[in-house]
Amino acid sequence: MPDDEARALVRRLCHYLRDNPLASDRPEGIAHWWLHVEWLTSERVVGEAIAHLVSSGLVEAVHGSDGRIRYRRARGEDVEQRLAAVAAEAEGSP
């Protein structure tokens, strides 16, 4: 599990993706539009939170025709329940 700051963003991202299942954006957009944090001061922690969700299979990277990577909620029947579980785990961690 990421550090405390990234864990808080993991929780927020899980909630956001449950409420907005079709959302897709680049890391800077995720920071600005989804999390409402300043990208330049949060680049490391936002990247850590996204990486954790990718490694958990809850978020997938999509390569755009412009060569940039965008992230979106993974597809699958159990993703909703897994997002809830990861958010709860992130909330309950010390």
The confidence score (pLDDT) of residue 41 equals 81
Q: Is the pLDDT of residue 94 over 60?
A: no
The runs of H, that is alpha helices, within the chain are: 4-19, 27-29, 39-55, 79-92
Token reading at 59: 């978020």
pTM of model > 0.75: yes
List, for residues 21-45, the tens digit of each pLDDT value: 999 999 999 999 999 998 888 899 9
User: What number of residues does the chain have?
Assistant: 94
Just give the CATH number of 4-92: 1.10.10
What are the residue boundaries of the structural domains of the chain, listed by start?
A: 4-92
Are the C-beta atoms of 58 and 83 separated by less than 8 Å?
yes
List, for residues 40-72, the tens digit of each pLDDT value: 888 999 999 999 999 999 999 999 999 999 999
| 71-80: average pLDDT | 94
Cα R_g (the chain), whole angstroms: 12
The Cα 4–Cα 32 span in angstroms is 20
